[in-house]
Amino acid sequence: MAADPAVTAELDSLAHPDDPCDLFNDLALTAADRFTANDGLAQFTFIHGVTVPTMAQQLLPRLDAPVIAELTAAVTCFVLYAIAAFDNGAPAPPLAPPSIDRGELARAAAASCEDHTIKFTDACLTLADRTGNPLALQAAEHRYRNPPQP
């Protein structure tokens, strides 16, 4: 993929974001959208497409500029490659506004004792707070309604 001109053009356009926080939010929201449109192993990948940029954003205030640039490039490549490799291309299903309150989503995630559900739900709640975008809460509710099968 690194030799694909379309991929390199996309990466070049993201190489120097004015605000890595905005980029990380956009990447996480894109992964949240793809999470709702994919099943199985792909969902597991897209969970990390949400959690990685959300977590990386927490590191930014503690890093100097060269390390921020490296982190931004690594996170961007990870999410874009995950989408390219695992996305089935289907449109995300129409999602209704979240019908479960945030507290219930958090309680249900904790009660699941499933580490990826807990991390994903926390990342979605954080992402919703940062962006005000309901897609993050919709993705958390999608996980709530479609828990992983043992």
Q: What is the pLDDT of residues 4-24, one digit of tens each?
A: 676 666 666 655 567 899 999
**For residue 11, what pLDDT is reported?**
63
Number of domains into which the chain is organized:
1
**Residue 139 located in a structural domain:** yes
- On the 0-12 / 13-18 / 19+ scale of CB atoms within 10 A, 31 is buried
Question: Hey, how many other C-beta atoms are within 10 angstroms of the C-beta on 43?
Answer: 20
**Residue 150 located in a structural domain:** no
**Residue 101 located in a structural domain:** yes
**For residue 84, what pLDDT is reported?**
84
**For residue 99, what pLDDT is reported?**
85
**Residue 58 located in a structural domain:** yes
Q: What is the pLDDT of residues 31-41, one digit of tens each?
A: 999 999 998 88
**For residue 119, what pLDDT is reported?**
97
Q: Supply the pTM of this predicted model.
A: 0.87
Domain with 75 in it: 5-89+96-145
Angle at 35 between CA 139 and CA 23, to 5 degrees: 85
